[in-house]
């Protein structure tokens, strides 16, 4: 049987426990999950692409089913180049649906052989996103419930937290 490969794309600025939960679920379904960092998304990331990649690599260094890559181009081109058959996206709440539906159908329109698989992260992470984590870190709050220690360390160094009163 051929190796089943999926690509999990995102900005990951930074990766959170919610993303990690989706990646873990992805490895239960696919032989290999490529976490793909979008270098130039429409957002203005706090971390450089290379920093975002380094954090994800560190977290999954002992998991041979997870690899990390970075890209600038069209997602479907990368998926085809890697001989992957699926795109993984996390669905946290109904509010995610419309945007995800649009992306999945657009990607399918561009390449009908690629399917998008939606995975639901653990309910503990449904409210989470990277913006909230960056904001808490910037204001000097504790982000250890949201990101692993290696990400927390880099966040604290990166942002200059305001002193909490």
- β-pair partners for 7: 34, 87
Which residues does residue 34 pair with via DSSP β-bridges, in sequence order?
Answer: 7, 67
Which part of the chain contacts ligand COA (CB under 6 A), choosing from 9-17, 62-70, 137-145, 154-162?
A: 9-17
Can 130 be counted among the known catalytic residues?
A: yes
Q: Is 89 a catalytic residue?
A: no
Q: Tell me whether residue 153 is one of the annotated catalytic residues.
A: no
- Contact window for ligand COA (CB under 6 A) among 5-13, 48-56, 147-155, 157-165: 5-13
DSSP string, 111-137: -TT-EEEEEPPPGGGTT--HHHHHHHH
DSSP code string of 61-116: TT-TTEEEEEESS-HHHHHHHTT--EEEEE--SHHHHHHHHHHHHHHHHH-TT-EE
- Annotation marks residue 162 as catalytic: no
Establish if 90 lies at the interface with ligand COA (CB under 6 A). Answer: yes
Q: Does 26 bind ligand COA (CB under 6 A)?
A: no
Is 107 among the residues that bind ligand COA (CB under 6 A)? yes
Taking the complex as a whole, how short is the minimal distance between the CB of residue 63 and ligand COA, in angstroms? 17
The C-alpha angle with vertex 112 and arms to 102 and 69, in degrees rounded to 5, equals: 75
- Coil, strand or helix at 34: strand
Per-residue interface string for the shown chain with ligand COA, residues 120-139, x marking contact by CB under 6 A: -x---x--xxxx--------
Catalytic residue among 43, 57, 61, 81: 43
Q: How far apart are CA 84 and CA 76, in angstroms?
A: 10
- Active site residues per annotation: 19, 43, 92, 130
Q: Which residues bind ligand COA (CB under 6 A)?
A: 9-11, 13, 16, 18-19, 22, 38, 41, 43, 74-75, 90, 92, 103, 106-107, 121, 125, 128-131
């Amino acid at each position: 049987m051929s190796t089943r490969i999926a690509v999990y794309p995102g900005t990951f600025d930074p990766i959170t426990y919610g993303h990690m939960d989706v990646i873990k679920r992805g490895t239960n379904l696919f032989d290999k999950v490529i976490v793909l960092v979008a270098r130039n998304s429409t957002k203005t990331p706090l971390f450089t692409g290379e920093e975002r990649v380094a954090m994800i690599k560190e977290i999954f260094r002992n998991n041979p089913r997870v690899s990390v890559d970075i890209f600038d181009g069209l997602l479907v081109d990368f998926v085809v180049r890697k001989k992957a058959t699926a795109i993984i996206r996390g669905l946290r709440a109904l509010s995610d649906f419309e945007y995800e539906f649009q992306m999945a159908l657009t990607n399918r329109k561009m390449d009908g052989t690629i399917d998008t698989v939606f995975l639901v992260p653990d309910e503990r992470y449904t409210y989470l996103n990277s913006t909230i984590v960056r904001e808490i870190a910037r204001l000097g709050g504790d982000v250890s419930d949201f990101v692993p220690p290696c990400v927390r360390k880099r966040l604290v160094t990166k942002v200059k937290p305001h002193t909490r009163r």
